[in-house]
Structure formats: C-alpha cells, structure tokens
Amino acid sequence: MATILDGKVLAASIRLKLREEAALLPRRPGIAVILVGDDPASQLYVKNKAKDCEECGFLSRRIDLPDTVSEEEILGILNKLNAETIYDGVLVQLPLPAHISEKRVIEAIAPEKDVDAFHPLNVGRMVRGDSVIWPCTPAGIGALLDAYDISADGKVCVMVGRSNIVGKPMGLLLLRRHGTVIYCHRHTPDLAAMTRQADILVVAAGQPRLISGSMVKPGATVIDVAMNRDAETGRFTGDVCFDEVSEKAAFITPVPGGVGPMTRAMLMQNVLTLAKLHMGLL
Ligand code: GUN
C-alpha cells in the first residue's frame, strides 16, 4: 500500500508558518479577488480564498461582478487595483464568461501583482527558470514532493494534461528539478505506454478513472490533480483509480485532501512573497 501524500495536513502547517511570517511584516499582505458570474465551483473557491486569508492574517477583498459585465469594465477595475498599494496580489477567478477574453484580462494584471503567475512576462520568466513565484497548483505539488523527500532529479516524469494553469507549468517545474519530462494529452497515441515509464506521474485531465493500476509502474509517485464531481453521489473523485493504483505506487495523493489544499496554501504563500517584494524585503 502506497504512502498517502497528505496535502491537508501539510497545507495547515504552511498556513501557520505564513501567519507567523506575516505578523512580522510592517503591514498586512493583501489580495484582491475578482469573481465574474455565479458558477458554484468558482464561488466556493473564492470563498475558501477569503477564509485562508483570514487564517493567515492577510487582507482580502472580493469583487463580485455579474456575468453580463463588459471586458472594458473588468479592465478598468484591474487598472485601479494595480495602483492600490494595499493589494500585493490581484487574482481573477477563471474561467470567465465566453464574451470576455481571458488573455486580455490576464495581460491587464500588473506582472508584479500577478499572484497566479499567468501573465506572459511571468510565464517567460518561468520558462527561463528565474521566476519568483509559480502557479499555485504546480507550486503546491512541488512543496508536497519536497515534504516527502521525493526528488525529480534523474527521474522520468510524465505529465498528463497540458493546460496553461497546471500541465505546462508543472512540466517546467519538474524540468527545473532535473526530471526528464514527457507531456501527454488527448492526441497521445498510447497513453499507457507513456504512463508506465513514469517514476513521477502527474495527472490533470479531468477524466474520472483515466489511470488504472495497469498503467502505473510499481514504486511510482502518483499525483492526482483532478476534482471531478460524481453526478450520482455528488462526491469528488480524481482521474486515478485510487484503489488499484495505491496497491502499486509508492506514494499517492488522495482526492480530496491531496493537491487541492496545497494549491490553496500556495496562493497564500505567493501573496506573502509578493508582499515581501513590494516591501523591499526580498
Ligand atoms: N480557476 C481554476 N484554477 C484557477 C487558478 O489557479 N487561478 C485562477 N485565477 N482561476 C482558477
């Protein structure tokens, strides 16, 4: 039976540490979060961000906009937030309604306040290997690997999924840690042949039961990023068949309680890092 990578416990200890660090600063770190529309999942994510800020002693502001809002209005709000020194981070919850260009919105966030590290300037820094912060999910997985002393150096790392939020930056993070990275996606001809090579397998496809036991190398580390809601039970499941895979893997993340809490903790860590930068402490 694999060791469970407990993101919930680690995230709680990180929040405590961040709170202690924040208390020593000349002012509270702050974040402004924009939520457009009333998607229940996004509502929950944004609510959790405010709760995490409170726990860490950070300032947070939530701006709710109707899904009829225009792109120009959002850009105007971002301009103002970029100029307000009390906010170290500015985040626009994705996805946005179809009539709004995510690209234009992301590019309107000041790079130094881009707490998600989605702005092209920050993506460029990430590719070059000199970014200060990383997108929250890859950063969270990196912290989880560190906590359990799992090194990517010299390992075959297979990334299933190639989104801008998770897959692409996750591959870059593993590359930076000297892993040999293979990206897989829906055009990959033989997914199982790839995943079976993985010493570290990260899955972010949003397809329940995509990864079965036979697709995993014995002794692998398996990271399940997905949060799929089961229509019948209403419960969350990942992309990995946990029962089968946990019999073969050495380490595995649970869903929920693995990557999700780590993503949240890394957002707080990124806010603190940007705050320190803005205060001239980094
Ligand atoms: N929607 C889903 N994940 C994320 C994230 O990491 N950042 C933002 N801004 N929106 C998201």
5 CA → ligand 1 middle, Å: 22
- pLDDT top residue among 231 and 16: 16
> 222 and 158 in one domain?
yes
Is 272 a domain residue? no
Beta bridge partners of 183: 159
Rounded Cα–Cα distance for residues 191 and 215 (Å) = 8
Average pLDDT over residues 59-76: 98
Average pLDDT over residues 68-73: 98
pLDDT of amino acid 231: 86
- Ligand 1 atom closest to the Cα of residue 92 is 9
User: What are the catalytic residues?
Assistant: 49, 93, 116
Is 280 a domain residue? no
Q: Model confidence over 177-186: pLDDT tens digits? A: 999 999 999 9
Is 182 a domain residue? yes
Q: What's the mean pLDDT when you consider all of the chain?
A: 98
Split at pLDDT 50, 70, 90, the class of 103 is very high
Q: Model confidence over 191-229: pLDDT tens digits? A: 999 999 999 999 999 999 999 999 999 999 999 999 999
CATH number of the domain to which 101 belongs? 3.40.50.10860
Angle of CA points 268, 60, 15, to nearest 5° = 30
CATH number of the domain to which 171 belongs? 3.40.50.720
> 83 and 150 in one domain?
no
Both tokens of residue 99? Answer: 């009539």
Domain count, the chain: 2
> 157 and 255 in one domain?
yes
> 253 and 174 in one domain?
yes
Average pLDDT over residues 133-149: 98
- pLDDT top residue among 203 and 234: 203
pLDDT of amino acid 5: 99
Per-residue three-class SS string for the chain: CCEECCHHHHHHHHHHHHHHHHHCCCCCCEEEEEEECCCHHHHHHHHHHHHHHHHHCCEEEEEEECCCCCHHHHHHHHHHHHHCCCCCEEEECCCCCCCCCHHHHHHCCCHHHECCCCCHHHHHHHHHCCCCCCCHHHHHHHHHHHHCCCCCCCCEEEEECCCCCCHHHHHHHHHHCCCEEEEECCCCCCHHHHHCCCCEEEECCCCCCCECHHHCCCCCEEEECCCEECCCCCCEECCECHHHHHHHCCEECCCCCCHHHHHHHHHHHHHHHHHHHHCCCC
Is 121 a domain residue? no
Percent of the chain, pLDDT > 70?
Answer: 100
Rounded Cα–Cα distance for residues 103 and 70 (Å) = 14
Q: Are 205 and 161 in contact (CB under 8 A)?
A: yes
> 141 and 254 in one domain?
yes
> 180 and 100 in one domain?
no
Above 90 in pLDDT, residue 57?
Answer: yes
> 180 and 83 in one domain?
no
> 172 and 87 in one domain?
no
Average pLDDT over residues 99-120: 98
Is 150 a domain residue? yes
> 142 and 103 in one domain?
no
> 142 and 244 in one domain?
yes
The residue segments making up the domain with residue 174 are 136-260
Q: Whose CA is nearest to atom 2 of ligand 1?
A: 94
Is 278 a domain residue? no
Which residue among 62, 94, 110 closes a domain? 110
- Ligand 1 atom closest to the Cα of residue 95 is 1
pTM over 0.85: yes
> 163 and 206 in one domain?
yes
Rounded Cα–Cα distance for residues 207 and 114 (Å) = 29
> 157 and 239 in one domain?
yes
219 CA → ligand 1 middle, Å: 31
Which residue among 110, 144, 171 closes a domain? 110
Is 5 a domain residue? no
Q: Whose CA is nearest to atom 4 of ligand 1?
A: 94
Is 117 a domain residue? no
Percent of the chain, pLDDT > 90?
Answer: 99
